[in-house]
Chain A
Amino acid sequence: MQAVELPLLGRPDLLTIAPASARVALTPSRLPEAGEQYRFHFDVEKCIGCKCCVVACNEQNGNPAEINWRRVGEIEGGVFPLAQRWHLSMGCNHCVEPSCMLGCPVEAYSKDALTGIVDHNPDQCIGCQYCTWNCSYGVPQFNEARGVVGKCDMCHSRLTAGAQPACVNACPSGAIAIEIVNVAAWRLAPENGNAPGLPSVMDSLSTTRITMPEKATELFNAISRVDNERVQPEHAHASLVFLLVLIQMAAGAMGAIAIAGSSAAWLAAGIAIVALAAAPMHLGRPIHAHRAWRGWKTSWLSREVIAFGLFAKAAIAAAWFGTPITAAAACVAGLFGIYCSARIYTVPARPAWNSWLTLADFYLTAFTLGPALLLAVGLIQTPLPVLVALIAQFVLTVYRRHAFEDSDIAERRSTARLLDHQLRHGFILRLTLLVAALIALPNAPVLAFVFALASELEGRALFFQSVVGKSAASAFLTPGGKAA
């Protein structure tokens, strides 16, 4: 492809006072050719931490104060007076393998064929916020008032019209620039995408090139983010807690019904329908929930939607026919759905979720609550499967917390810390309820079921609350106000 000259992009930097040697264009003079894309270059040494870029970005995009598509983090190291402190101004990294896009269930994301810019279309978005979990840098942000996600698009329309992106234009020291990268070469040697305070460039092949000051190389390992000590619990996502626990219970119950040869598949079907009815409630745009299957080629969320859709239909069929074989078929669909669910959460950006323990946790919920329900309503008599599942769940819950405490992944350690401190009461409640279920099991199966259900609900709430996502380093203060 012929390189296209962009007349305005080639103009010298508007910093007319800069000496000739420093007078570099901050945007490329041409469009990318095949195998190339645009990317950000950020020069840590030039940045003075003034945050003009953040203000310019919010003004450019009309975002409210609490949404910042560009943010400035701080990293620090060394010992006074040889302390070093630098700032990281980060927008979207327009990754080669954008995890936001790959996870999106509705194809709201696209990677522009010409520029490589990862665009997000708010009209397509259903506000599931899965991309906000998938991105290691915390780039996509949910706009609560509007019900959709948004993110930096490198000021796509400005750039292709020959104007500088807002952040590039606002920077008084020329620290932010747009340049062209050869994707294949970057894939082979992406080291300059790494910096202290940033997740690994390999998570999604981030394209942002970062120039660290020379003196940083010797101190690389001593430099760390200044927001390390600030760990806040996340939202519990009540509707997701409800959906996951109930649908897992329904699948487990369906399995128990099949094994017991019971004709009570209607019970599991009913629970599945209630669970699925709750599902769209966590969306920013429930009215568009029907689009959620579209991303099935890459999105585990779409696959989950399809699998549980099948499960619900099979469960209704099983209830209609009342035969163990139809119940077994429905159970298989349900178990596949649980697998899809778990895969949604096992993403690199969320280390506490990105573990076999998530899969085990979800299946154990099914294996605990399914039989426990049947036991409670008297459809089966043996408490043994419930007993085993409850003990396994207890052991795994305790193991998870201990394994994370000693993990070499900082985010997992933070999860353990949350369970020990801010979420301590919830964690104790979760374990106490498991023990209570165990105690009640031999003589009071209804009570045991209630305890087990409550424990799983609390456990799933903790699952969401205690996760610490990877992110680019942020500033020291809690945005918007003091930590509690």
Chain B
Amino acid sequence: MNPFRLLGIDNLSKEYAYTDDPVLGHTSAKRASEKWVKTTCGYCSVGCGMEVGVRDNKAVAVRGWEGHPVSFGKLCPKGLSEHHTLSASNRAQYPLLRKNGKLERVSWAEAIAALVENFGRSQAQYGRQALGVISTGQLLTEEFYALGKLVQLGFGTSNYDGNTTLCMASAVSGYKLTFGSDGPPGNYEDLRHADLVLLIGANIADNHPILVQHLGANAHKYLVVVDPRVTKTAMLADLHLPIRPRGDIALLNAMAHVILRDGLADESYIAAHTNGIEALRAHLAAYRPETVAPIAGLRVEQIVDLAHRYAKSKAAFIAWTMGVNHSTQGAETVNVINNLALLTGQIGRRGAAPFSITGQCNAMGSRETSFTSGLPGYRKFENAEDREELAKIWKVDASRVPAKRGYAYPDIINAAVNGEIKSLWIIATNPVVSYPNQAQLRAAFANLDFLVVQDGYHPNPTSELADLVLPAAIWGEKEGVYTNSERRVGKANPIVTPPGEAKPDFDIFLAIAETLGCREELFPNWTGPADAFAEIKTVTKGRLCDYSGMTYEAIETHGGLQWPFPEGANPTEPSRLYADGVFPTKSGKANLIPVTWEPFPDQPGKGFPFILNTGRTVEHWHTRTKTAQVALLERMSPNAWLEMNPEDARRLGLKSHENVSLVSRRGQVHNVELRLTEIIAPGQLFMPFHFVETNVNEVTQDAFDPISREPNYKQCAVRVERSSNPHS
């Protein structure tokens, strides 16, 4: 110990001094700032506005952006401490290339040459599609756009997808099937005006806490939360319906059944704006509340009452997140939600919409421009006109624009397992924590010739396995835009310079294009994100996700602009889709889609009696790459836990805080702290997925939605045992 401290002389008075900051008022002197930079938060898709205080090129303070239309000056605990993620000790600073089994520092030139050479070798030997690319929802829209062109037109592989497939793909597919296009119809303002808010599979109090204030501002709403677990959000509800896992389709179908049966449907809306009512009506006949009640684990009158409330509300709003998306029937569940909205005309009005609350800060931006599950500007691979339009803008031959989507994320992994994909480029995502059934991921990695990980942090569990690590700048070190859940495009600004030799992903992509020899063709005269933004405006002009009227300045001035934003649009008018009842389908009508309820795969049974559910906690972000570096967040949520009902624990002779193991048909995870609680139903378990140390994805199933390719994270069968080695 410091000798001054031993004696008791105050050696840290400076550390704990206060100051009267002109902006913050009386506060810790550590936060005294020389300038403030307005930006958009880089964690989730709520899209909060924040200001970051800077002193000596160091981000020292964060505060909410007063009057911001999304966050109204508030931030969640992650946002309030986001500046600490920039100065983390494990930021990736230098390109590293594996030589003789060890990652060694190399120059950028050598790193990029190695990337181009190794990707080229795989593609020359095994075909263009032998290169797989998995990106993220964390980049800026300009970066997604540049990366899409680089991968699809430069490298010429369509085996390119984002981690958004682990997250939002079901919403995307569901919207496309019902409405003819992706795009969440509602907005946050609807939460403030709806008479009925139905949150299904959405624990916003933990996962999107700043959205809760929109609900809080709605004094007249009736809030229904459908969730198998008594979440923090369930505690806010006027009515919590503890649905059985995967009972959602049955419940929603039964609601639609009741609405049609009891004459509550908006027949004129149905006639004018939808296709397929007769097929749907016939299909729904089987979904009597009496039949559905045991499947959903609810009472008949609860189902009937909810259907009546929904249909009779002046404005009813349904929002969902991963409880719906993380399912082998995710896209179909979205269809069923959309059915309800269409049957009752609860769409396109203030307070009335089906609405997906997105995950990552820019999952939406990737959907609009990334060239993964669709062509930029919500265009379709299958549509020749769409391909030609783009080819014309890009001045390339239309034959270079792929006519069908390449492999989705899980199919890229499976293709690596079976040897089709030999090189893999992973950008700003961490599958070693997040991918379901880790055994399969390990098999894929073992088969690769070359793995590139481009990330802001190294080492992280995935970058440790890389043959090449490219150090990237992160939120706060680069410029561009993010789109939030309500289609609001927000500006992210550079606050400090990246550490070491780390570069913005945008610059990395252009440098790779340079070496690859396609920079001038694909990115003519591009120097920065503004060039990409200008092209995005052209590419989206006249599309649903129309950026053409936006400028960086206007975005920043108004705390974000919602698309569609053609020239002359009103920057402060809340925007919602389909107010006119015209949908981007061939007929201009939305599709009512009959969906059959099915039990989830990997049902509990002999040897695996529990249903395991996975999710998040408010302190952490995804795979904890960032939040584990924020000491306070880590202290408040230092390890994973497993929630179990006390009744089950009594039978198994287990106590709270004991270390237990989870075993599934695929794998096991040990030394998880047991939490006995009545917030979880008997027979069910819950565990957060943030922790690589006790990775729940060792046991989750790699079963995927056949439509969206999204994994079924939310249910799998496991058993629980006392860990044999409790202290390791």
List the interface of chain A (C-beta within 8 A of B).
Answer: 14-19, 21-22, 46, 48-52, 54-56, 58-62, 64-66, 68, 76-81, 83-86, 122-123, 126-127, 145-148, 150, 155, 157-158, 161, 163, 166, 170-174, 226, 229-230, 283-288, 475-484
Contacts and interface: CB of A to CB of B under 8 A. Distances in A.
A71 B198 CA distance: 31
Given A52-B80, A81-B230, A226-B675, 4 more contacts: A22-B219, A51-B619, A80-B645, A230-B656
B244 to A, nearest CB: 11
Contact of B16 (A18, A62, A285, A482): A62
B678 A55 contact: no
A130 to B, nearest CB: 16
B639 A229 contact: no
Interface string B51-78: 0000000000110001100001111110
18 contacts: A17-B72, A17-B213, A17-B214, A17-B217, A19-B218, A60-B31, A126-B8, A146-B11, A170-B75, A226-B677, A284-B8, A286-B6, A286-B7, A288-B8, A475-B636, A477-B673, A480-B638, A484-B727
Most buried by A among B233, B633, B678: B678
B640 to A, nearest CB: 9
Nearest to B635: A65
Interface in B461-502: none
Contacts of B635: 65-66, 479-480
A158 B217 contact: no
B641 interface: yes
Interface of B: 5-12, 15-16, 18, 25-31, 61-62, 66-67, 72-77, 80-81, 192, 205-206, 209-210, 212-214, 216-219, 230, 232-233, 235-236, 240, 242, 618-619, 631-639, 641, 645, 655-657, 659, 673, 675, 677-682, 727
B76 A50 contact: yes
A85 B679 CA distance: 8
Given A50-B205, A52-B77, A173-B216, A79 B8 contact: no
Given A79-B678, A158-B25, A477-B639, A58 B632 contact: yes
Contacts of A480: 635, 638
Contact of A22 (B8, B10, B216, B645): B216
Contacts of A55: 77, 80-81, 632-633
A147 B183 CA distance: 57
Contact of B72 (A14, A21, A49, A78): A14
B211 to A, nearest CB: 9
Nearest to A150: B16
A87 to B, nearest CB: 8
A172 B81 contact: no
Contacts of A174: 216
Contacts of A476: 641, 675
Contacts of B30: 62
B488 to A, nearest CB: 15
A147 B15 CA distance: 13
A339 to B, nearest CB: 28
Contacts of A171: 74
B495 to A, nearest CB: 16
Contact of A286 (B8, B62, B639): B8
Contacts of A62: 15-16, 28-31
A22 B639 CA distance: 37
Given A76-B679, A157-B18, A229-B655, A22 B217 contact: yes
Given A17-B192, A19-B217, A172-B212, A122 B15 contact: no
Contacts of B29: 62
Contacts of A79: 678
Nearest to A79: B678
A57 to B, nearest CB: 10
Contacts of A230: 656-657
B28 A172 contact: no
B236 A170 contact: no
Contact of B77 (A15, A54, A81): A54
Given A17-B192, A479-B636, A161 B10 contact: no
Nearest to A288: B8
Q: Which 10 pairs show the lowest CB-CB distances between chains A and B? A: A285-B8, A62-B28, A65-B631, A81-B242, A83-B678, A157-B26, A172-B74, A287-B8, A50-B209, A48-B205
A80 to B, nearest CB: 5
B680 A80 contact: yes
A235 to B, nearest CB: 16
Contacts of B673: 477, 482-483
A83 B677 contact: yes
A16 B72 contact: yes
A124 B242 CA distance: 55
Nearest to A22: B219
B677 A76 contact: yes
A78 B678 contact: yes
Nearest to A281: B6
A48 B232 contact: yes
Contacts of A14: 66, 72-73
Contacts of A284: 8
Contact of B25 (A51, A161, A170, A484): A161
Given A50-B77, A55-B80, A85-B230, A80 B216 contact: no
A50 B80 CA distance: 11
B618 A50 contact: yes
A51 B209 CA distance: 10
Given A17-B192, A62-B16, A52 B677 contact: no
Contact of B10 (A18, A77, A122, A157): A122
Contacts of A147: 5, 8, 10
A484 to B, nearest CB: 7
Most buried by B among A21, A76, A81, A288: A81
Nearest to A19: B219
Contacts of B680: 80
A66 B635 CA distance: 7
Contacts of B15: 62, 146
Nearest to B67: A16
Nearest to B216: A173
Contacts of A15: 72, 213, 217
B484 to A, nearest CB: 16
Nearest to A52: B77
Nearest to A18: B217
B319 to A, nearest CB: 16
A59 B681 contact: no
B75 to A, nearest CB: 7
Nearest to B693: A482
A89 to B, nearest CB: 12
A355 B80 CA distance: 45
B575 to A, nearest CB: 17
A36 to B, nearest CB: 23
B65 to A, nearest CB: 12
Contacts of B638: 477-482
A48 B236 contact: yes
B238 to A, nearest CB: 11
Most buried by A among B29, B67, B192, B232: B232
Most buried by A among B25, B242, B680: B25
A18 B216 contact: yes
A77 B677 CA distance: 9
Contact of B230 (A83, A283, A478): A83
Nearest to B78: A55
A481 B638 CA distance: 5
A288 B7 CA distance: 9
A59 B209 contact: no
Contacts of A157: 18, 26
Nearest to A16: B72
Contacts of A46: 216
B656 A229 contact: yes
A150 B16 CA distance: 11
A455 to B, nearest CB: 30
A147 B727 CA distance: 32
B127 to A, nearest CB: 48
